[in-house]
């Protein structure tokens, strides 16, 4: 039975000479996989163009309880995001975030509020100038944490942040998975990051790499392992 769904393209994996498997996050069904054409024909080329990482989509999915990979029809963009495809740095960020979501959203129940946040964030990202876009993935990972119930309590007192326990503290824990005072102060500052002040946060490449590594470790400890994403090598060079 065909069902209309709205979703976001995540990762495409080659299945055969004629088909690939596309994973999507959808508002109605959660994370699903569909078969897409992978040959050299016109339909396959159009599908590849429409299903770039983080592309918002509308499609008709043939949902059957005895299948884990569905067929689809009437694939079309839900929102146009031309800015992401035109700018290499944005395209690399989109690939990283799509890889991240592909892992984090496995077995996640459909969540319309989270889907709205993801789609709204993608539209914002598409329109951002370069200086602000460089910090978008930091903002996104910080804000997405609340939908998984793992956002830190920013009002807690403390000069150190315990990554394993997920809270601030005044003295070092017995384990090594915590942020020192300088990194904790930076985390507190990042708690104020929003869509209006993204461009005001200036980081070196190493600082941005450290922030992302800390955030991915935090997600790994509290939600799902995301330290070995395929696009990690790309995003750390930005």
Cβ-contact 58, 76 below 8 angstroms: yes
Residue 208 has pLDDT above 80, yes or no: yes
Residue 40 has pLDDT above 80, yes or no: no
Beginning with the edge strand found earlier in the chain, give each strand of the sheet holding 178-179 in spatial order: 167-169, 160-162, 178-179
Under the banding of pLDDT at 50, 70 and 90, the label for residue 15 is confident
Percent of the chain with pLDDT over 90: 81
- pLDDT of amino acid 148: 96
Under the banding of pLDDT at 50, 70 and 90, the label for residue 140 is very high
The pTM of this model reads 0.94
Cβ-contact 216, 236 below 8 angstroms: no
Q: Which helix (H) or strand (E) holds 192?
A: none
User: For 75-125, what is each residue's pLDDT tens digit?
Assistant: 999 999 999 989 999 999 999 999 999 999 999 999 999 999 999 999 999
Cβ-contact 145, 193 below 8 angstroms: no
């Amino acid at each position: 039975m065909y069902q209309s769904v709205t979703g976001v393209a995540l990762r495409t994996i080659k299945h055969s000479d004629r088909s690939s498997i596309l994973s999507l996050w959808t508002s109605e069904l959660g994370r699903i996989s569909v078969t897409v054409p992978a040959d050299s024909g016109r339909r396959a080329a159009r599908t590849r163009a429409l299903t770039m990482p983080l592309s918002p989509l509308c499609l008709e999915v043939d949902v059957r309880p005895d299948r884990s990979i569905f067929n689809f029809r009437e694939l079309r963009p839900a929102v146009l995001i031309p800015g992401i495809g035109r700018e290499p740095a944005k395209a690399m960020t989109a690939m990283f975030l799509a890889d991240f979501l592909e892992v984090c959203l496995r077995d996640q129940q459909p969540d319309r509020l989270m889907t709205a946040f993801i789609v709204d964030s993608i539209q914002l990202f598409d329109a951002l100038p370069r200086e602000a876009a460089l910090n978008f993935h930091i903002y996104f990972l910080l804000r997405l944490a609340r939908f998984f119930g793992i956002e830190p309590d920013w009002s807690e007192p403390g000069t150190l942040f315990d990554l394993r326990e997920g809270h601030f503290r005044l003295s070092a824990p017995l384990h090594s998975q915590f942020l020192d005072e300088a990194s904790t102060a930076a985390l507190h500052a990042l708690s104020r990051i929003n869509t209006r002040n993204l461009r005001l946060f200036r980081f070196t490449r190493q600082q941005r790499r450290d922030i992302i590594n800390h955030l991915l470790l935090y997600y790994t400890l509290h939600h799902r392992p995301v330290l070995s994403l395929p696009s990690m090598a790309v995003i750390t060079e930005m």
